[in-house]
């Protein structure tokens, strides 16, 4: 899933557009389909480590592909995307973009030195991006 209005606001972090473009391309090429009871991994990225503004993102996968959406602040609990392997973290949008482009092992601001479960999840999600032709 992707937002219907993908225009950059005046103070939005410059990485937001390219991030959402990569996610939209990947999910169009490899659509996840319904997530309920099928999602394997989900990450909630709070992209608060920026001087600009940035939405939060939810990225998930199923056997079929990858899905994503902006996470609204007031999202009802019953609409939360959940999976057996779920991770939440804070990130700089530039790090999220580098992760999606294969230049970082994970999108998080914190080091994942001993967190093998989170490393496995972000690697599983990124594999859907790595098979996507470059946006542009």
Q: Which domains does the chain have, with CATH numbers?
A: 16-130 (3.30.1050)
| pLDDT value, residue 14 | 94
86 burial type by CB count under 10 A (0-12 exposed, 13-18 middle, 19+ buried): middle
Task: Read off the pLDDT band of 96 (50, 70, 90).
Answer: very high
The share of the chain scoring above pLDDT 90, in percent, equals 49
**What does the block give as tokens for 2?**
């992707």
Task: Name the pTM for this structure.
Answer: 0.83
User: What value does the mean pLDDT take over residues 73-89?
Assistant: 84
Task: Read off the pLDDT band of 8 (50, 70, 90).
Answer: low
| pLDDT value, residue 76 | 79
3-class state of residue 118 by DSSP: helix
Q: Are 135 and 25 in contact (CB under 8 A)?
A: yes
């Amino acid at each position: 899933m992707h937002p219907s209005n993908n225009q950059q606001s005046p103070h939005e972090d410059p990485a937001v557009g390219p991030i959402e473009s990569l996610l939209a391309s990947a999910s169009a090429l490899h659509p996840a389909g319904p997530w309920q009871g099928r999602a394997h991994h989900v990450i909630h990225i709070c992209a608060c480590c920026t001087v600009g503004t940035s939405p939060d993102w939810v990225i998930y996968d199923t056997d079929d592909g990858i899905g994503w959406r902006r996470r609204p602040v007031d999202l009802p609990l019953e609409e939360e995307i959940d999976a057996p392997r779920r991770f939440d973290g804070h990130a700089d949008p530039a790090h999220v973009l580098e992760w999606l482009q294969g230049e970082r092992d994970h999108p998080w601001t914190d080091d994942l030195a001993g967190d093998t479960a989170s490393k496995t999840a972000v690697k599983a999600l990124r594999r859907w991006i790595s098979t996507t032709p470059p946006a542009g």
